[in-house]
């Protein structure tokens, strides 16, 4: 494995989202829009043409009034590691190396200037976390003044997605370097959605670091592709073997089932995930 060659324990940034706390208010979405210069159009009601790196799904238990229940699923890019580190559905298929998997952070990157818009990665992503710029991004006159220089605005004809606010990591490291440090504190690198969440439903940190809250909440099992040991935690479509870094926690069983279908009982010796990589 490549980690071996690096001098130190690599990071594995990930998220734990408490679905009991999440209220579906959508602050995470807008925090993301404004942090990452996400463009907007006059009509955003066709959700399949609407760029939302962080998207909140509304899910119901399908029961009739008054037994109906609703749960909200915030869905950023899942930053899949795949069955062997870095074999994400999208990274493996990009023909021009425009999307990459960073061993140091476990973050799936997207380089807008490298991407030439073949959209293969979008077809590969089961979470619909990737978005194509069908239009040129246009800001009403004057509004371009709020654009952040830390995130490059995207041009028409390329794919974009959640980056775990990677620029915040870059800036935090800048600060660390100037202070003669090489390591970051847990609080120094937090994503915009995590920071904004009014319900404190999102937790972000290094899944490899036992001191970090995400590690304690999700209890990833390093020997089984980081499957959560916390019985209330689960990952979207666990059985695809995408080995994602977004863990969801819910006390409601129907919610956990909605997140990852348990059509075939999931057992650690199930060969399902193994089949999914190669």
Partner 1 sequence: MSSNEDPKPKDVTEEAHSPSSKGGGGGAYLLLFFLIGLALSMVVGWGIFPKVLYSTKSQPFDFNHKLHLEQVDDSCQSCHFLREDGTFSGAPRLAQCIDCHEQKEREVPWLIYARQPDCVFFSHAAHIKGAGVDCVTCHGNTGTSESLRTYQENRITGYSRDIWGHSIAGIKHNTWDRMKMDDCAACHKDSGSHESSVQTGRDACFVCHK
Partner 2 sequence: MDSALIPEGVKRCSLPKFLLGLAVVSLVLAWGVYAMLLCWIKGLNQTNMNDYYGFALWIWADLAVIALGGGAFFSGLLKYIIGKDDLKYIINYAVLIGFICYSSALLILAIDVGQPLRSWFIFWHANVHSMLTEVAFCLSCYFAVLTIEYIPLILENRQIDKVPFFHNLSHNMHGAMAVFAATGAFLSFFHQGSLGGVAGVLFGRPFAYREHILIWPYTFFLFTWSAAAYGPSFTLFITWLTEKITRKKLVKDKVIYLLAKISGWMIITYIIAKSLDTLYWMYNTAPAEGFKWTFFFENNPFYTHWVWVAEIILGGFVPGLLLIIKPTRENNFCRVTATVLGILGVSLNRWVMVLQTMAVPVLSFDTWAMYIPSWQEVATTVLPVAYGVILIMISYRYLPIFPQERELNPIEPVAPAADAVEA
Partner 3 sequence: MKLSRRCFLSLVAGGAAGTALSPLPWKLADDSSIWSQNWPWTPVPPDGEGTYTLSTCTLCPGGCGINVRKIDDRAIKIEGAKDHPLNDGGVCMLGLSGLQMLYGPTRIQTPLKRAGDRGQGQWKPISWEQAIGEVAQKLGDLRGLGKPQSLACIAAKDTGTVGRLLRRFMSAYGSPNFFRMPSVEDAYEAAIYITQGAIGSAGTDVNNADFILSFGSALLDGYGSPVRVFRANSRLKELNGTVVQVEPRLSNTAAKADKWLAVKPGSEADLALAMAHVIISNNAMNQTFIADQVEGFEAFARMVQEKYAPETAAGKTGLSVDVISEWAMKFASARRPLALYGKGKGQVPGSLKEALAVHALNALVGNINAEGGVWALPAYDYINWPDIETDSVAAAGLQTPRMDGAGTDKYPHARYLTHRIAAGAEGIEALLVAESNPCFSLPNVQAIRTAFEKIPFVVSFSSFMDETAMNADLILPNHTYLERYEDVPVTAGVTQPTVGLCRPVVEPLYKTRHLGDSILQIAKAMKGTVAGAFPWEDYESCLKLTLAGHWETLEEKGVITAAGYAPGGFETASGKFMLMNDDQGAVYMADDVATEGNGNEYPLVLIPYDSIRLASRYVGAAPFMIKTVSDAVIKGQDGYVEINPETAKTLGLADGQLATLTTPVGTAKVGIHYDEGIMPGVVAMPRGLGHTAYDRFLAGKGVNVNELIGFVEDPASGLDAAYGIGAKLA
Q: Which is nearer to partner 3, 105 or 133 (CB)?
A: 133
Q: Is 172 helix (H, G, I), strand (E, B) or coil?
A: helix
Q: Is 22 in the site for partner 2 (CB under 8 A)?
A: no
- In the shown chain, the binding pattern of residues 70 to 109 toward partner 1, with x for contact by CB under 8 A and - for none, equals ---------------xxx---x--x--x--xxxxxx-x-x
- Residue pair 28/188 in contact by the 8 Å Cβ criterion: no
Angle, CA 75 vertex, CA 68 and CA 193 arms, to 5°: 110
Q: Which of residues 137-156 bind partner 2 (CB under 8 A)?
A: 155-156
In the complex, minimum distance from the CB of residue 76 to partner 1, in angstroms, rounded to a whole number: 16
CA dist., res. 85 & res. 75, Å (int): 22
CB burial string 136-167: b at 16+ within 10 A, e below: ebeeeeeeeeeeeeebebbeeebbbbbbbbbb
199-to-18, 34, 71, 259 alpha-carbon distances in Å: 9, 19, 14, 21
* One residue of 56, 124, 171, 184 binding partner 2 per CB under 8 A: 124
Q: Is 174 in the site for partner 1 (CB under 8 A)?
A: yes
In the complex, minimum distance from the CB of residue 244 to partner 3, in angstroms, rounded to a whole number: 23
In sequence order, which residues have a C-beta less than 8 Å from that of residue 265 and are 6 or more positions away? none
68 binds, among partner 1, partner 3, partner 2, none (CB under 5 to 8 A by kind): partner 3
Q: Is 196 in the site for partner 1 (CB under 8 A)?
A: no
Q: Is 74 in the site for partner 2 (CB under 8 A)?
A: no
Task: Provide the token pair at 63.
Answer: 């029961």
Q: Which helix (H) or strand (E) holds 258?
A: helix 253-259
Q: Is 59 in the site for partner 2 (CB under 8 A)?
A: yes
CA dist., res. 107 & res. 119, Å (int): 20
Interaction site with partner 2 (CB under 8 A): 46, 48-49, 57, 59, 73, 80, 82, 89, 92-98, 114-120, 122-128, 130-136, 155-159, 236-242, 257-264, 266, 270-272, 275-278
Interaction site with partner 3 (CB under 8 A): 18, 20-21, 23-27, 29-31, 33-35, 37, 40, 42-47, 50, 52, 56, 58, 60, 62-66, 68-71, 112-113, 136-137, 139-149, 152-157, 192, 195-201
């Amino acid at each position: 494995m490549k980690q071996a060659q690096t001098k130190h324990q690599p990071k594995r940034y990930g998220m734990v989202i408490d679905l009991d706390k999440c209220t579906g208010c959508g602050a995470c979405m807008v925090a993301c829009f404004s942090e990452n210069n996400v463009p907007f159009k006059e009509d955003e009601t066709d959700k399949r043409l609407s760029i939302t790196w962080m998207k909140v799904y509304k899910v119901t238990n399908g029961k009739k009034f008054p037994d109906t229940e609703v749960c909200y699923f915030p869905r950023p890019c899942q930053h899949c590691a795949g069955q062997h580190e870095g074999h994400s559905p999208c990274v493996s298929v990009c023909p021009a190396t425009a999307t990459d998997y960073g061993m140091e952070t476990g973050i799936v990157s997207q380089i807008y200037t490298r991407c030439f818009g073949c959209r293969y990665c979008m077809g590969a992503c089961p979470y619909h976390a990737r978005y194509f710029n069908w239009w040129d991004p246009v800001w009403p006159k004057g509004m371009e003044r709020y654009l952040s220089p830390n995130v490059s605005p995207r041009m028409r004809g390329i794919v974009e997605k959640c980056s775990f606010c990677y620029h915040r990591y870059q800036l935090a490291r800048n600060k660390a370097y100037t202070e003669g440090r090489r390591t970051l504190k847990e609080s120094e690198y937090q994503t915009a959605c995590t920071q904004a969440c009014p319900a404190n439903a999102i937790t972000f940190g290094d899944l490899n670091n036992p001191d970090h809250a995400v590690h304690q909440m999700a209890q990833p099992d390093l020997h089984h592709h980081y499957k959560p040991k916390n019985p209330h935690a689960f990952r979207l479509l666990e059985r695809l073997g995408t080995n994602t870094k977004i863990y969801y926690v819910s006390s409601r069983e129907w919610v956990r089932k909605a997140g990852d279908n348990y059509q075939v009982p999931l057992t650690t010796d199930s060969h399902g995930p193994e089949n999914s990589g190669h």
